[in-house]
Amino acid sequence: MLSGHKATVQMPTEKSIDLREVNQLVIAGWTGRNVAALEAHIKELEALGVARPKSVPVFYRVASSLLTHADLIEVMADASSGEVEFVIYAMSDGLWVGLGSDHTDRKAETIGVTLSKQMCAKPVSAKAWRYDEVSPHWDKLILRAFVGAGETRRLYQEGPVNAMRAPEELISLYRGGAPLDVGTAMFCGTFAVHGGIVSSGLFEMELEDTKQGRKLTHCYRIVPLPNEG
């Protein structure tokens, strides 16, 4: 006779990320696996005057103080935009995966990508999942971003996380085979947008685990400051 008990679905462990424990921030760029999709992203940035990278991927070190859980950031004028990415954290209790936006000043990007990466705050979700609990079904994780608000809200980016190189590969390339130092956060790349890169007053993003039926989310407003030259 069957007991009638249902099997318990193991949900991935979730915890709050204390950004005070992060002392190194790395932005991995041009990480796409699909050559055609990567080329599309390079071309949409070239259209804005951003130089083509000399090689891929590229790893930009920026100030860890740029990381924020805030729901509002201030930027120069209206020349910036968000990019949804998964974020890997190396903490004292292992690797965790979260959600972030590599918000970038597009005007500064035409001068130098490294400069532009340092110009804006990097909003991230407050929560993260233990990486080794989602890595077995990594291909079931989807990134999305929306811009606008109300009737103008629209899908801006969407795709599976495995459109980018795997975290293990990025870490190995960055560290020469060594693990990430504890206290490191790494943004792991993004994909082309729908309808061209735009500045928006609101940026919503999510990381969905379609197998476990849950999401990490974050939404932030962008306040432009006057450009006085």
Is there a contact between 122 and 66 (Cβ–Cβ < 8 Å)?
yes
- DSSP β-bridge partners for residue 158: 144
Instruction: Give pLDDT tens digits for 51-75.
Output: 888 888 999 999 999 999 999 999 9
95, 88 contact by CB (below 8 A):
yes
Look at residue 34 in the predicted model and tell me its pLDDT. 85
> For 210-225, what is each residue's pLDDT tens digit?
999 999 999 999 999 9
Angle at CA of residue 26, ends 159 and 195, nearest 5°: 30
How big, in percent rounded to 5, are the helix, strand and coil portions of the chain?
Answer: 25, 40, 40
The top-scoring range by mean pLDDT among 8-12, 111-115, 144-148 is: 144-148
- 177 CA to centre of own chain: 23
169-189 pLDDT tens trace: 999 999 999 999 999 999 999
Class of domain 15-225: alpha beta
Query: Across the strands, what pairs with 26?
Result: 61, 186
